Every structure is written in structure tokens, then in C-alpha cells.
Amino acid sequence: MELLDLWLVSMLLNSQCDLRTRMFSPPLIFSVLLSSIMMLVTWCHFTNKQASNFVRDISSSRHLNILPMKSWRDAQIPPLSNRVNTLNCTTVTDLLFGPYPTICTYGPDEHVSRSYSKKGKTYEGVNVNRFLSLLYDEASDNDVAFIDVGSNFGTYGVNVAARGFPVVFVDANLDNLHLISRSVKMNKLRGIRLINNAVSNTSDEISTFKICEKNVGSTGILGSRELANDCKGRESKIYQVRSITLDDLVNVVKDLVPVSGKAVMKLDIQGFDERSLLRAHFLFEELDIRIIMTEDVTSLMRDMLFARGYKILHPVHFQQFRKIDKLHAVGKESHSKIFWGKI
């Protein structure tokens, strides 16, 4: 109404006409109504366009470093760097059900890789079994994407992709993605996205990372407490990478599951699980995240996820929370993975 009043006053002053005569003129009334409708339509269009652009800018960052490989047919496979001294590709069959993919690792001298090359077992096999079972509970016709944040060389993601689900691999260590690309090629996998960024609560920050040569899974930001504990006394190397947020992944995931918008997610980023969830508003608004697996849990993480309707399904180290009775995997697991599900 304020715009209409101003418009009327301006028109009356400019025309220098009598208020009583002009106010009840039918042509004027019609002109006022038509102008008001046009102004309202223009304002609504502008507002919606600005809002959609804002959401699009938040959820599709230009800082995403996406490697040019979407399936095994893509010819370009990134070369291994000089940090990868050996390349061992192993097929293990210890999970509860197949298919059993070939997974390329760093070889017997690296901590996680040793489980495959020396022991012939899936690293964190108990947790992988639990995760796959939860994934199948949520899936129909493979319409669920897996967001593998902190993917290492693909212990979880390659197994999920081998079972026909689309996977977004996100890792700050480019060598991990190089190994995954070889596993993708060897197993003829499809629906793959490889993203070489760190995940945090800010976008486009350049972070300095330290790679523990004997335990690549412990790669983390230089100077962090977790890294200091994991890399103590071990050979390591330094590199830099740009950061993104979980919100930046929305359009990448939507491209893989445009109809259902459903996804499951793993967060294993060396103490940054909590920080990454601080910038995940649009991720949870735009996608239906059914299951989340985190490496640890803090009071803030618990409050954030509880507020979004999640509950703890099964922390591996607390038997009283065991709710996945269909799983028959046995053995002790030293890694405290926490599973969250929608209530």
C-alpha cells in the first residue's frame, strides 16, 4: 500500500488536478489497479529469482575440484604421484554378501592397506557389513546415493559402488582418489564422482595437510591434535588443498539421484566431523539423508543431529545400543563408529 500511495501522490501532483475529480475517475482506478498488479508480479519474480540463485550458489560451489571420471569407461585415470611407492590390488571375500570388488591399496607397508594385502580381510569389516545392511534397508532399485566424506582408498565406497549404488567420493588426499579411480576401472563401476577437497565449515580456504606415510588414513590438518597423536614418530609429507562445505555437495548428489533425492553419508575426517555439520543446512533441506556414520560423537554433534530427527542406531563399542539384529558378523572392533538413523 505504501507504493500505491506514493504513486497516487506523485501522479496527482504532476497532473495538478483536483483530488475529488481524479480519485473517482474510472480510467484512473483501472490504471492504478493494473499498475499495482504489474508491480506485485515483478517484485515476486525478482524475490524468487534472488532466493533460487542464493540456494544454487550455496549448494554448487565453484571451488569443487571434481576429477574427470564418472564411470569405468572414462579413459582418463590420474597418474599416481611419487608418494605411492607400490600398487596392490586385492579381492577379499570376507563380507557377508557380494559382489566382492577388487580394491587397490598402497601395499603391505601402509596400516589400512595391510589388512588387504597381508591378512586378506576388509578393513573395518564389521562396520562395512553393518553399513551395507542399513543401506539395503533404505534402498529400492539402487535409488540411494552414498556420500563418502573422508573416503581413504575406498574401503566403504568401492564396496557400495560394486553393489550398484552411486557414490560421491570426497577426500583431501589426491592419491586416495587415484587409487579409487583404478578400482573403478578394474571393477567397471558406474555412477561415480571423485572430489579432491577438504571438508570443513568454510569454503575456499587453503588448508595445509600432513600425510602419515605409514597410515594414510590419519591424514589431517597440520597442527591439529588428532594429527599430532596419529603421526607421532612417523614419516610424513605436506601438501595444500582447498576446503568446501557439505552444502557444496548438494547438486553433485542430486545429479546422481534426481528422483528420490535419498542418500546415506559417512563422515571420517580426523576430528572435523563436528565442524563439517555446522555448514550442512542445505544438505539436509535439499536431500533426504537416511543414514549417517560418524567416526566419533561430541555433545554438539549429538544436539545438532537429534534436532534434525536422528537417533543413534548402534555405536559399535556399546552393546546395549545394538539394534541391528540381522547382522551376523562376529569379532571385536577397535574403531568407534557411530550410526545415526532418521526417527
Encoded amino acid at 274, one letter:
E
Using alpha carbons, select from 117, 191, 119 the residue that is nearest to residue 148: 191
* Residue 271, pLDDT score: 74
Task: Taking residues 204-224, report their average pLDDT.
Answer: 64
Distance from C-alpha of 293 to C-alpha of 173, rounded to nearest angstrom: 20
Query: How many residues does this entry show for the chain?
Result: 343
Question: What is the pLDDT of the chain when averaged over all its residues?
Answer: 75
Phi first, then psi: what are they for 287, rounded to 5°?
-120, 155
Distance from C-alpha of 303 to C-alpha of 323, rounded to nearest angstrom: 21
User: Which one-letter DSSP state was computed for residue 5?
Assistant: H
Residue 200 or residue 140, greater confidence: 200
Q: Per-residue pLDDT for 273 more than 60?
A: yes
Confidence band, pLDDT 50/70/90 cuts, at residue 209: low
Range of weakest confidence among 144-148, 265-269, 294-298: 294-298
Residues 6+ positions from 6 with CB-CB distance below 8 Å: none
Distance from C-alpha of 209 to C-alpha of 272, rounded to nearest angstrom: 13
Residue 179 or residue 232, greater confidence: 179
Contact in structure between 180 and 158 (CB atoms under 8 Å)? yes
Q: Which residues pair with 210 in a beta bridge?
A: 220, 238
Q: Tell me: the pLDDT tens digits for 5-29?
A: 544 445 544 544 454 444 456 665 6
Confidence band, pLDDT 50/70/90 cuts, at residue 309: very high
* Residue 49, pLDDT score: 42
Residues 6+ positions from 90 with CB-CB distance below 8 Å: 102, 103, 105, 116, 117, 120
- Calculate the CA 134 to chain-centre distance: 18
* Residue 64, pLDDT score: 86
Confidence band, pLDDT 50/70/90 cuts, at residue 52: very low
Residue 87 or residue 183, greater confidence: 183
Residue 122 or residue 6, greater confidence: 122
Q: Tell me: the pLDDT tens digits for 131-166?
A: 998 898 888 778 899 999 999 999 999 999 999 999
User: Which one-letter DSSP state was computed for residue 95?
Assistant: S
Distance from C-alpha of 110 to C-alpha of 32, rounded to nearest angstrom: 76
Task: Taking residues 252-280, report their average pLDDT.
Answer: 90
